[in-house]
Amino acid sequence: MRLLTPPIAVALALAVAGVSAGEPTPRSAIDVTALPPVDDAVTLAPDSLSALRPRDGTRADDRVALLPPVEFNLEQDAFATEPAPGPGLGAGPPRRRFESPYGSAAPVSLGGFWAPATDVVRQGPSLAMNAQFARVAMPIVPPSEGRPLWIGVGRFGRLELATDAVLPDSGRPIPDQLWLVETGVTHVRPRDDGSTLGGTFLFGSASDRPYAAGRDLTLVAVAFLQTPAANDRDEWSFSAFYSPTSQLPYPLPGVAYVWRPDATLEARIGVPPAIEWRPDDDWTVSVNWFPLVNLNATVRRRLDESFSLVAFYRTDTQIYFLADRTRNDERFFVFDQRAAFGLERSLGGGLTLELLGSWLFDRELFQGTNFTSGRTDVVELEAGPAVSLQLSWRR
């Protein structure tokens, strides 16, 4: 794989935004959808939960009512039609509020993705992809000031691989359909000392035959603590993440310092790292990364109240348990890198429609117990185009 390194991607994204905005250098020293989305992709964003602690005169109940659902998968969202969200913008001064605190992670979204047939390397057949997805994350009970918040989360996805190609080592056909079905809950608890404690638990199945057996079940477990820094402007973020269908299927700790030097910049310095820079109300540059190779770099340019241009580079990984696998810990990976450009249209009432054209490259299907070693049944695909359409709702 030919991955851009996080420092290179950060530098490229900042350079594009700086040149396009007509500013020779950023105004400050220097915000993985989402990892988020994260699909669809992804970083945990408990720092946006600081909306529970108003420090700028905004009524707490007004902010709690707009509290963003915590991104429930630190990696990018499945089916990759929505980039993983960057750091949240719901904190108090000195930051401005550019948009709803939902940020880039819409609580309700649905869409589709299509990639026409491209050749399978070293095999005769070609392979085409299409996918559909939907997700929702909404409060279970009406939120109120100073009270714990419960958010119900659901996610559904279907990925179709249309091909006559086979997995080369085992000789089995490539699965024609892969499914993801997950439901769960996020809990957010504000504390008297100004910190926020919470977690997310999702349970479901990611497989070619979902819920066919107990070994095909999966989960996502997240715990986080967000606490104010000594200057009451920045924050400390502590987190832990585990999912058997992540690139690293082990418990992963996270610690980061959320730095807000002025109203245009927010950076998570630590693991997972992220940065978001808004030189003005029209430009947004964000980069986030989560182990192992989940990287998202996005540039957004608002044209007017209704239209925005969006460009991004990111890696995308989708992971499943095949029902007929020979080892319980073996997983099926669908990986690619992609660069995309498109248009976002505000429809009113919180609805947004996004149309993107993408170029997919470094495309692979394979089986293995983890992302970096023990690979079998490796199938390489030629690069090719793709298009996606997504409808999102933000309060």
Average pLDDT of span 33-38: 30
By percentage, how much of the chain surpasses pLDDT 90?
Answer: 48
Q: Token digits for 139? A: 């409060």
Query: In the 3-class helix/strand/coil scheme, how is 293-349 assigned residue by residue?
Result: CEEEEEEEEECCCCEEEEEEEEEEEEEEECCCCCCCCCEEEEEEEEEEEEEEEEEEC
- Report whether pLDDT(332) > 70: yes
pLDDT on residue 355: 96
pLDDT on residue 36: 31
Q: How confident is the model at residue 122 (pLDDT cuts 50, 70, 90)?
A: confident
Query: HSE-up of 273 (CA within 13 Å, CB side)?
Result: 12
| 161-191 pLDDT tens trace | 999 999 999 889 999 999 999 999 999 998 8
* Pairwise pLDDT comparison (90 vs 395), residue with the higher score: 395
pLDDT on residue 395: 67
- Report whether pLDDT(306) > 60: yes
User: Which of 266, 78, 69, 233 lies closest to 150 in space, CA to CA?
Assistant: 69
CA distance 90 to 128: 40
| 123-165 pLDDT tens trace | 888 999 999 999 998 888 887 777 888 999 999 999 999 999 9
pLDDT on residue 272: 87
| 63-78 pLDDT tens trace | 333 333 333 333 333 3
| 193-202 pLDDT tens trace | 888 999 999 9
pLDDT on residue 99: 35
pLDDT on residue 2: 41
Report helix, strand or coil for 17: helix
By percentage, how much of the chain surpasses pLDDT 70?
Answer: 73
- Report whether pLDDT(24) > 50: no
Q: What is the dihedral of CA 40, 45, 46, 48, to 10 degrees?
A: -110
pLDDT on residue 92: 31
Average pLDDT of span 271-278: 92
Q: Is the pTM of this model over 0.85?
A: no
pLDDT on residue 105: 53
| 233-274 pLDDT tens trace | 899 999 999 888 877 777 888 999 999 999 899 999 998 899
pLDDT on residue 62: 37
Which residue's structure tokens are 């930051």? 95
CA distance 268 to 50: 14
Question: Residues 58, 52: contact at Cβ < 8 Å?
Answer: no
pLDDT on residue 201: 92
Which residue's structure tokens are 């948009």? 99
Question: Residues 54, 66: contact at Cβ < 8 Å?
Answer: no
| 211-236 pLDDT tens trace | 998 898 898 899 999 999 989 889 99
| Residue 374 CB neighbour total at 10 angstroms | 13
Average pLDDT of span 359-367: 94
- Report whether pLDDT(82) > 60: no
pLDDT on residue 250: 79
Q: How confident is the model at residue 353 (pLDDT cuts 50, 70, 90)?
A: very high
Question: Residues 336, 313: contact at Cβ < 8 Å?
Answer: no
